[in-house]
């Protein structure tokens, strides 16, 4: 059992190293897309459809206080 667990953990470490190397080669936009969950992307698409194709992130304005 110990040998099996060791092989499994070694494989997971190798996959993690390969994934990290792949992420380093991505553009910032690709990294943001990769880190976003499927549910978040679906919610953004649904919101954009509801708003008539407007990108929901466009409606966020982090530079100005809300005034509330």
pTM: 0.37
What pLDDT was estimated at residue 28? 85
Q: Write the DSSP assignment of the chain as a string of letters.
A: -HHHHHHHHHHHHHHHHHHHHHHHTS-HHHHHHHHS-HHHHHHHHHHHHHTTS--GGGG---SS----
- Pairwise pLDDT comparison (55 vs 19), residue with the higher score: 19
**pLDDT tens track for 21-46:** 888 888 888 888 878 888 888 888 88
């Amino acid at each position: 059992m110990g040998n099996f667990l060791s092989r499994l953990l070694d494989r997971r470490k190798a996959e993690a190293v390969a994934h990290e190397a792949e992420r380093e080669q991505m553009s910032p936009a690709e990294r943001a897309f990769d880190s976003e969950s499927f549910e978040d992307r679906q919610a953004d698409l649904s919101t954009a459809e509801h708003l008539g194709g407007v990108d929901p992130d466009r409606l966020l304005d982090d530079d100005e206080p809300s005034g509330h």
